[in-house]
Amino acid sequence: MNESVRFAGLSDVGRLRATNQDCWGADSDQALFMLADGVACSTDGALAARLVVELLPTYVARHFKSDEPDAKPDEPEASLGRALVEYCDDFRRFAAADPRAAGSNTTVVAVLVTLSRATVAHLGDSRAYLFRDRQVRQLTRDHSVIQDLIDAGEVSVEDAEHHPARAIVTRHVAMVPHPLPDVSSVDLLPGDRILLSSDGLHGVLDDETLARLLDSHSDPADACAAMIAAANEAGGPDNITAVVVDVPADDQ
């Protein structure tokens, strides 16, 4: 990893929730950045979110070998996907044996930055965005009932935020029988930014607002704080978490 890559993350309980079940983390040695949003209807979403952020780096290190000279172009995607699947399998076994984790669940989105490429894996409705040329582009597709309804043309985007199924995720860390993470890669350019967000952020602020705040705050920590403040000003109905990763503007 280029040591000049800057990043920051920030999480806030919001204005309506009593506890914060979001969690974010980073493994700077691997340039791995993660965000998890504990599922509110599960027994302990905060525990599930914390565990995936704490333990996933070990699984990624086991599967991902960026220094192999004969690595295939899609190897980062396959390796990150396998790491997440293996973690989920182990988590389900742990939850089945330990009553503290029984019934706990979480979403997760993780991005691995290698040289000039970012590989993203996710389960659920936590998102990854690319910020470039003052615009944000969503890199993930929500694994949710409401997204399926939108894609099928049964619900409009405008009506989705008030739909009773808007918070139901279709893929998650504890899914049975086997997790199916979506994994993709994107080429990075100098000056790009990556944003990871929980639905307490992107469910309240539109793309134009996210882009404006990312554009007006050059420091990653300031950008995270500004987005969370804006989400709280808009009502803060859920826990709010943002992680911002900066790609160096030049070769340093």
80 located within any domain: yes
* pLDDT at residue 167 in the model: 72
Average pLDDT over residues 44-66: 91
Judge whether residue 74 has pLDDT over 60: no
Q: Comparing C-alpha atoms, which of 99, 125, 134, 96 is closest to residue 210?
A: 134
Judge whether residue 129 has pLDDT over 70: yes
* pLDDT at residue 52 in the model: 97
pLDDT digits (tens, 9 = 90+) for 176-207: 888 899 999 999 999 999 999 999 999 999 99
What percentage of the chain carries pLDDT values higher than 90? 71
162 located within any domain: no
What gap in Å lies between CA 57 and CA 134, rounded to an integer?
31
Q: Is-contact 211 134, C-beta < 8 A?
A: yes
Average pLDDT over residues 2-27: 91
Judge whether residue 252 has pLDDT over 80: no
165 located within any domain: no
CATH of the domain at 199: 3.60.40.10
126 located within any domain: yes
What percentage of the chain carries pLDDT values higher than 70? 89
Tokens of 145: 């009932």
Domain count, the chain: 1
35 located within any domain: yes
Domain extent, residue 192, equals 6-139+173-247
Average pLDDT over residues 108-125: 94
* pLDDT at residue 72 in the model: 56
Which region, left, alpha or beta, applies to residue 63 given φ > 0 means left and ψ of -120 to 50 means alpha? alpha
* pLDDT at residue 67 in the model: 47
Q: What is the mean pLDDT of the chain?
A: 90
Q: Is-contact 74 121, C-beta < 8 A?
A: no
Query: pTM of the predicted model, to two decimals?
Result: 0.92
151 located within any domain: no
* pLDDT at residue 147 in the model: 80
152 located within any domain: no
* pLDDT at residue 250 in the model: 62
Judge whether residue 98 has pLDDT over 50: yes
What gap in Å lies between CA 222 and CA 167, rounded to an integer?
29
149 located within any domain: no
Judge whether residue 30 has pLDDT over 70: yes
What gap in Å lies between CA 105 and CA 125, rounded to an integer?
13
Q: How confident is the model at residue 69 (pLDDT cuts 50, 70, 90)?
A: very low
* pLDDT at residue 71 in the model: 52
Average pLDDT over residues 205-221: 98
